[in-house]
Structure 1
Amino acid sequence: MDLAVTAAALVSTRAARPAPAADRKTVLISGGKMTKALQLARSFHAAGHRVVLVEKDTYRFTGHRFSRAVDAFHVVPDPRDPGYADALLRIVQAEGVDLYVPVCSPVASEFDAASAEVLAGHCEVLSLEPEMVRTLDDKHRFTELAASLGLSVPDTHLVTDPQQVLDFDFSGRPRPYVLKSIAYDPVHRLDLTQLPLPTRAATRAFLAGKPISADNPWILQEFVAGAEVCTHSTARDGVVTVWCCCPSSAFQVNYAQVDRPRIREWVTTFVRELGLSGQVSFDFLEEADGTPFAIECNPRTHSAITMFYDHPGLADAYLEPRDTPLEPLPTSRPTYWSYHELWRALSSPRTAAERWRVVREGKDAVFDRADPLPHLVLHHVQIPLLLWKNLLTGGAWNRIDFNIGKLVMPAGD
């Protein structure tokens, strides 16, 4: 069915190449396997710029390399490889890159930020400073920094030994607590078991399954009951130039813009006070009275950027300063991923009507009639190849994430 739809789109849609921008740029985008990289590529392409996409060898068959928006594709080393920044430099020089927009995985964030030093003088890098990335990626340091600015965050404690949790005095505290890994953990991040458990023995058994140590610290954080909200901001010199805000969850693959003035003010203050330039995403819990508590910051592009799929101004908002943040158009439909909706309907048939409503009222984040190949290759080459390689090696995986184009694995990237 996908092959027929793709063929029909290719035959029926003659996508005219956009006229070159008056000040045409060559834009390098990393993280080529992820939908958010595809969205940025399409936005820069539609504005008349040239796009170069990169990804590491594991994902060299990403469907996004076949997008009409991508002018060149290169394979780069793993971001943790000592030669990563030099590989980016060679691409920058060969392709005449003007701007590098990192679209990072959590593992890559610090390395992409550090590459700015190597790329200095060759192109602009839209990224936070490496030390700021390390601070914001550390949930404990982030909450301390936000609190020092007078911004609302939950009570948070650093944990380097399970015994600290057993010895923690939960009595008299108005809310329960949850444990979170400071390092990105694609498996444990979804476990929000509230502490303390009914008995000390139960708490001890729960802690036995958590890899907490001085080398792998966690946080014990106050659990704020309320609506989950996620945001994306692109900033230049302490001014937010791109803004979106959505209802969220632990595993979020549906994005719809909502207006939350207090959250927007929180983020605007944070970005302004620290003079940030780059991309930052925040997760909030919003109490019933509207008070927002920031629970973490991810210093990288958020998948909510897919809501700008029909906004002609996104590229300019990345390239130039502006006084008023760009937001998704009022007419933009919520974004979703078809195969996630299909899986939800098949695995829980009673939700099929709701899943159909999401599809009917929304926009698939990958499929575009004028650019259909990424959808076909993602679902029928990229993911099947990853599954096949995993089968051959006997690796463990938890789920397929079509949004970020990979299998979610323990200790994955």
Structure 2
Amino acid sequence: MSIEKQHILLTGGRAPVTLDLARQFHSLGHKVYVADSVPMQLTSLSNAVCKSFVITSPVADYNGFIQDLLTIIHDYKIHLLIPTCEEVFYIGKGKAQLEALCHVFCSDLHILSQLHEKFSFTELVRSKGLKAPETLLAKTSSEIISAIKQLGGEAVLKPVFSRFASQVYFVNQNNLKHVIHLINVSEQYPYVVQERIIGKSFCSYTVLKDGMICAHSHYPVYFTAGKGASITFEYVEHKGIEQWISTFFSGTNLTGQFAFDFIETENGVLYPLECNPRATSGVHLFKGLPLPKAFLNSSCSVLKPKKSTKVMLILAMLTMGWSGTHFLKWCKTFLNSKDIIWSSKDMKPFFHQFYVYYSFYRLAKKNHISPIQATTIDIEWNGDKQ
């Protein structure tokens, strides 16, 4: 694709990564449009965005969702559509329709679902000659009990489709009966029972275009919202992760954004836990760098963050980051990291985020779910049940 000024359509306007991408494309002179199925969009007041759209939820009406995107693409002469959140699976499903009008920066649904589904992902990892935790598929409570015994009485339990570690259980013989009572496992909603690996946690983010790695970042996990999503990000060099990514994607012709969660043992062995084939917070580590070029030109060299780049979600750090951590470490991280949302050139999103998060809090209360789960309830992909 030409790197001349483009009309870019981002989906997932609720997400900080979408705001960051919008600002980065805007800074290089591209016209940015954003669409999402919620009215409370973090990007809606950003001066980097030409226009925001509220579209149909793909969970509620897949065909309506695709038609809304087609209308925007046609009316605003969009050149490139970039999904950022879990709506990527629905866009992957409708990719052939959408690509009749513009370029779509994601892979087909088949590969996206294979990567997202936690059992098939581990099978794919092994097929590449890479190590993966021993992982068993369970569709009944008795299969879960049998699998945990097979793994030595201790394991990690999670649905094959899940996100933010919101439904992850660390199971042993002492709490097994209690956990079994909490979950709803079935043929339609299977779980994986996975070997528990002890070590340091890392996350990676890679932009791939036609099988070429165009941008890559990774960061250790220090502070999180709940069990899963990181809220502080620091780039550190890790040749092992870079080599793993290179091996995993070798020989493919994939396009899209791909993120992995890793555990590194004390012996330096890397185990991938899961893949998120979408934008993740690794985007934030490219602040001040020409990340949009990775989406537009596969012939460029691999873009990496500057060494010791440190950023954070300041609101999350203030409300959740301090819980269960060493106070001095929290203070040091807080004082040495820049906020992702704040920009002196684009201030409105910083203040607008309070309304956005409050809106999701109200949605969570209404549906009796956590605020983190509320952020994806209308876009999450749990298999093709349409």
Output the TM-score relative to the length of structure 2. 0.89
Instruction: Give the corresponding residue for 2:318.
Output: 342
Gapped regions of structure 1 (runs ≥ 5): 1-20
Name the CA shift for 1:145/1:230 in 2 (closer, same or farther; >3 Å).
same
Name the CA shift for 1:68/1:188 in 2 (closer, same or farther; >3 Å).
closer
- The answer to whether residue 339 in structure 2 is matched with residue 364 in structure 1 is yes
Provide the secondary structure at the position in 1 that maps to 2:367.
coil
Moved more, 296-305 or 335-344: 335-344
Residue of 378, 381, 385 corresponding to 2:359: 385
Name the CA shift for 1:98/1:329 in 2 (closer, same or farther; >3 Å).
same
Q: Report the Cα distance in structure 1 between the residues aligned to 2:257 and 2:334, rounded to whole angstroms.
A: 29
Residue of 62, 65, 85 corresponding to 2:66: 85
Residue of 27, 43, 49 corresponding to 2:30: 49
Q: Report the Cα distance in structure 1 between the residues aligned to 2:183 and 2:237, rounded to whole angstroms.
A: 37
Q: Deviations over 1:332-365 (max 9, x none)?
A: 3x111111121247767x8554333223211101
Larger-Rg structure: 1
Q: Report the Cα distance in structure 2 between the residues aligned to 1:22 and 1:275, rounded to whole angstroms.
A: 21
How far residue 390 of structure 1 moved from its aligned partner, in angstroms, is: 5.4
Name the CA shift for 1:390/1:168 in 2 (closer, same or farther; >3 Å).
closer
Residue of 291, 311, 322 corresponding to 1:314: 291
Provide the secondary structure at the position in 1 that maps to 2:359.
helix
Q: Report the Cα distance in structure 1 between the residues aligned to 2:235 and 2:79, rounded to whole angstroms.
A: 31
Is the 1:185–1:411 contact (alpha carbons within 8 Å) kept by the matching residues of 2?
no
Alignment of 1:167-186 (within 5 A): 167-168=146-147, 170=149, 176-184=154-162
- The answer to whether residue 369 in structure 2 is matched with residue 397 in structure 1 is yes
Alignment of 1:13-412 (within 5 A): 23-56=4-37, 59-80=38-59, 81=61, 82-105=63-86, 108-168=87-147, 170=149, 176-184=154-162, 188-191=166-169, 193-195=170-172, 197-198=173-174, 202-248=175-221, 250-311=228-289, 313-322=290-299, 324-330=301-307, 332=309, 334-344=310-320, 351-379=326-354, 381-388=355-362, 394-399=366-371, 407=374
Q: Report the Cα distance in structure 2 between the residues aligned to 1:347 and 1:269, rounded to whole angstroms.
A: 37
Name the CA shift for 1:169/1:22 in 2 (closer, same or farther; >3 Å).
closer
Name the CA shift for 1:79/1:345 in 2 (closer, same or farther; >3 Å).
closer
Runs of 4 or more consecutive aligned structure 1 residues displaced over 3 Å after TM superposition:
168-171, 173-176, 185-188, 344-348, 350-356, 385-391, 406-413
Q: Deviations over 1:201-242 (max 9, x none)?
A: x42332121211111011111111111111001101211111
How far residue 262 of structure 1 moved from its aligned partner, in angstroms, is: 1.5
Instruction: Give the corresponding residue for 2:383.
Output: none
Gapped regions of structure 2 (runs ≥ 5): 381-386
Is the 1:60–1:75 contact (alpha carbons within 8 Å) kept by the matching residues of 2?
yes
Amino acid at match of 2:10: I
Q: Deviations over 1:318-340 (max 9, x none)?
A: 110135321112363x1111111
Output the TM-score relative to the length of structure 1. 0.83
Moved more, 122-131 or 247-256: 247-256
Q: Deviations over 1:85-128 (max 9, x none)?
A: 111011001111100110122xx232021232111231100101
Q: Report the Cα distance in structure 2 between the residues aligned to 1:69 and 1:41, rounded to whole angstroms.
A: 6
Provide the secondary structure at the position in 1 that maps to 2:266.
coil
Task: Report how many residues are paired.
Answer: 372
Moved more, 109-118 or 381-390: 381-390
